[in-house]
């Protein structure tokens, strides 16, 4: 009986800790995004939405080139782990430039992402793979 109670409290504690870490991670990430925006807003001489949109395309193009390498679509030899590291950097650049673009354009990226994630979850939950 006591072992079950201890196991219950241990599991509850673990769950609470995991949620707390996720929450703290989310807050820290949000603060970093806001800091990037604050610095950009203070120091970038001009905030042209078309330029920000082009920056997303630039970063996306860099990621596409690396995915081609990862998929073996380039006739070159490379270190796959190095390509994966570079790809993760480029994917992060896409997220950051997208965030800055959303700020320049005056739209709430996180609200839109939250809404779109709900849509994607519902879509995948209804989807049945053909057999």
Q: Which residues bind Mg ion (CB under 5 A)?
A: 59, 62, 90, 93
Mark 45-67 as b/e (b = at least 16 C-beta within 10 Å).
eeeeeeebeebbeebbebbebbe
Closest CB to Mg ion: residue number: 93
CB of 90 to Mg ion, least distance (A): 5
Q: Which is nearer to Mg ion, 95 or 109 (CB)?
A: 95
Task: Supply the DSSP symbol for 59.
Answer: H
Residue whose structure tokens are 């991670």: 25
Q: Which is nearer to Mg ion, 19 or 89 (CB)?
A: 89
CB of 94 to Mg ion, least distance (A): 8
Strand ranges (DSSP E) for the chain?
none
Q: Which is nearer to Mg ion, 89 or 114 (CB)?
A: 89
Task: Supply the DSSP symbol for 45.
Answer: S
CB of 15 to Mg ion, least distance (A): 37
């Amino acid at each position: 009986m006591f072992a079950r109670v201890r196991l219950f409290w241990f599991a509850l504690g673990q769950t609470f800790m995991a949620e707390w870490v996720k929450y703290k991670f989310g807050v820290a990430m949000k603060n970093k995004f806001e800091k990037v925006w604050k610095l950009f807003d203070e120091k970038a001489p001009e905030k042209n939405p078309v330029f920000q949109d082009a920056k997303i395309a630039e970063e996306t193009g860099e990621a596409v080139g690396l995915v081609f390498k990862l998929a073996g679509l380039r006739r070159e030899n490379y270190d796959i782990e190095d390509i994966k590291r570079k790809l993760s950097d480029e994917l992060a650049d896409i997220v950051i430039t997208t965030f800055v673009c959303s700020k320049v354009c005056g739209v709430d990226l996180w609200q839109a992402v939250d809404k779109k994630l709900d849509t994607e979850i519902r879509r995948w939950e209804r989807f049945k793979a053909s057999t």
